[in-house]
Amino acid sequence: MALNDVSCQLHLPVEGRLLDHDASFSRSDVVDMMVELLGAEVDEDEFQVHVTKVAHGRFSWLRKEFKLHLDATTTAETNGDDEAMQLNQDHVICIYLL
């Protein structure tokens, strides 16, 4: 499957360089990205960055976040909250693609 297929099927923009190894991020930048893209709490993100001693989180933490947002998506769908459902779906997709 090509990136264009992923973009069409998931309605995610695919732009820029695929792998940008020249970019370096500070721990605070990574925490901000984790909050925005993965929907995680700031305290949890800071803890993950601290525990791994680098700018990323552990797989076990990602698995927990995935399940949390998947359950929240189901709950939002049941309650008819389309906005919350879409937001949680976006987080599930981002975590899955990691």
Q: Is residue 69 part of a domain?
A: yes
Q: Is residue 8 part of a domain?
A: no
Asked if 14 and 7 count as a contact pair (C-beta separation under 8 A), the reply is yes
**pLDDT tens track for 20-74:** 555 677 888 888 888 888 888 888 888 888 888 777 778 898 899 999 999 999 9
Q: Which domain holds residue 61?
A: 21-97
Which letter, b or e, does each residue of 55-70 get, where b requires 16 or more Cβ atoms within 10 Å of its Cβ? bbbeeebbeebbebbb
Poorest-pLDDT segment among 3-7, 59-63, 71-75, 94-98: 3-7
Residue 19 has pLDDT above 70, yes or no: no
Q: Is residue 74 part of a domain?
A: yes
Q: What is the pLDDT of residue 55?
A: 73
Q: Is residue 82 part of a domain?
A: yes
Residue from 87, 94, 85 nearest 62 by CA? 94
Q: How many domains is the chain built from? A: 1
Q: Is residue 43 part of a domain?
A: yes
Q: Look up residue 88 and give its two tokens.
A: 């949680």
Q: What is the pLDDT of residue 23?
A: 62
Contacts of 4 (CB under 8 A, 6+ apart): 14
Predicted confidence band of residue 3 (pLDDT cuts 50, 70, 90):
low
Q: What is the pLDDT of residue 18?
A: 54
